[in-house]
Structure 1
Amino acid sequence: MGFFLTQFVKAATSDFARATVIEAVRADPRLDGLIMNDDDDPPRFFVNEIDEVSELDVPEGELGFVLFDDENQSPNSAFSPPPYLVIRKGVAFWVENRRLSDWTATPQAFNEGCFRNACLYDIHGDLWQIVRAELTIQPSFINTILPWRHLPVRIEIRPRARPDIADIVAEVAAILESVNSFTENLNHKPADILRYLRSATQPSELIQYAEKYP
């Protein structure tokens, strides 16, 4: 995978801003352990766009990475392919079988916060926090008539933690043990789903069960 990242720096000129931001990204500790390029194929960083903004426009906190498919990517890429177990803390969970760049949502689901306080768990056992999500196309009049139509979503994620599988099961258990519209519409009893999930010994197994039983 490649990534986009918005970075804010103070610089007197655009050339200085370009050099400063590349140095800052290279030193970003969130990339530690993620870059898996061979020695003869080092990672390359490019500044795509430079805009001058007021300090008042600089958001608080770190911004996440937006990943995209690299046609030259290694099969051992740190960010694994789908499926992903998506967990909205205390609210809902589901399995996503599309690449991150292909995710969509209905305007209604998006406005109700379908990606708020959410993370995704991959088959390698890595947990990625969703730090920002936005519709890439503004809803049109037709979406008010056909509200089930999906629009593409741009997702930013923050690398990465590797929790114990029991911690992920506990997060899902907290959802299953709550009373909300998600648990009321399950196809199986929450206790039965939990029994299967707790029997999983590998992340891929847990994701498979999470997709099969709700």
Structure 2
Amino acid sequence: MIVRPLEWTAVPDSSSYVSATADAYDAVATLYTEFVQGALDDQPLDRAALAAFADLVRASGNTAAAEVGCGPGHMTAHLRDLGLSAFGLDIAPAMIDIARAAHPGLRFDLASMDAVDAPDASLGGVLSWYSAIHTPPAELRPYLDEFHRVLAPGGHLLLGFFEAEGPDVLPFDHRVAPAYRWPLDVLAARAAEAGFTEVGRMRREPASNERHRQGRLILRRS
């Protein structure tokens, strides 16, 4: 696997890239919230992927779910509307403030994706919707391990991300913070190493306001 450098340089140590990502989202929190408002309205395939994920979680009998990297909370609220007992977490304080104000009936935690405030094997679902994209490839495994820890056996994980054509993980100039595009096969293989079994996948072409293909993986804790 080759990671090709772009104009920016990814920060190598995890504490630095996490804090830099948090700072970047804090700086654009209001603008980002406006940008994602109604993001699912004209994306039937995305709604279908989320609905399938929610169906699988509900079918397990455990509707407790976490959105890791929840931003302004709109996707956590969508999971609630799909029948899940969802809560969200994010590393950006401004995002958590916005989420709590917009959705006062939901729980939002200021926390990293590798420190979910949930007991072992307690959740039926975990949603990572464009949150792991900012994680350097070498740093991804601890997050997958944490998702595996909090999911009950048979629980489901949905990953939403930018897809890379070809075999390589590719860094790109995300508008907020350095990010990576993942080939579906490569990300699925990484998840398998962490104890997940692939249930289904989706690739869709970019919309008119998008630059890259989009990928979705639904995975089950083995």
Q: TM-score range, shorter-chain basis?
A: under 0.3
In terms of fraction of residues, the more strand-rich structure is: 2
TM-score scaled by length of structure 2: 0.26
Structure showing greater Rg: 1
TM-score scaled by length of structure 1: 0.27
In terms of fraction of residues, the more helix-rich structure is: 2
